Amino acid sequence: MAEIEIIYREGYCECMGGDYCMQCHTQCAGDMGCKMFNEGKHEKNVIPFGDCIYANFKYIYKGMSIKNYELEADDDPYNPHLNCMMLKTRNDWYQCEKVVLNGKVIYGEDFDAQTESEDKE
């Protein structure tokens, strides 16, 4: 049995009735036909090619003891802000920002530092 603790991200759209799409954080955001993205309201526009102001992530903690799992790094050379560690277990996929396996951090050592600096802003 492996003890796994993860912090994974789940996307959501802050727009009333809006459907979240992962493309809202990539170069394809403008091509998806979302009215809110195409209105041009990009005050925060952290990333110059996408990152709709209504598309956000929430981070969720989960701990589990499991026998069968797969870990796979998901590195996107075109959208490095979306890099994560993919965890598959019990037919579910998680986009993990931090993975602790049997008490040892194996991915996302700097995640805690990032979230602390974001909280101070």
Q: Does pLDDT of 96 surpass 80?
A: yes
Burial status of residue 22 (CB atoms within 10 A of its CB: 0-12, 13-18, 19 or more): middle
Three-state DSSP at 119 gives: helix
User: How much of the chain, in percent, has pLDDT values that exceed 90?
Assistant: 36
Q: Which of 52, 60, 7 is nearest to 25 (CA)?
A: 52
CB 16 within 8 A of CB 75: no
What band does 109 get if pLDDT is binned at 50, 70 and 90?
A: confident
pLDDT at 28: 72
Residue range 18-46: average pLDDT? 65
Whether this model's pTM surpasses 0.75: no
Q: Where are the alpha helices (DSSP H) in 32-110?
A: 35-38
pLDDT at 20: 77
Residue keyed to tokens 């050379």? 77
Residue-range domain boundaries for the chain: 2-120
At 39-59, the pLDDT tens digits run 555 555 445 556 677 778 889
Residue keyed to tokens 């598309």? 55
Residue range 55-69: average pLDDT? 90
Name the helix (H) or strand (E) containing 115: helix 111-120
Higher pLDDT, 101 or 28: 101
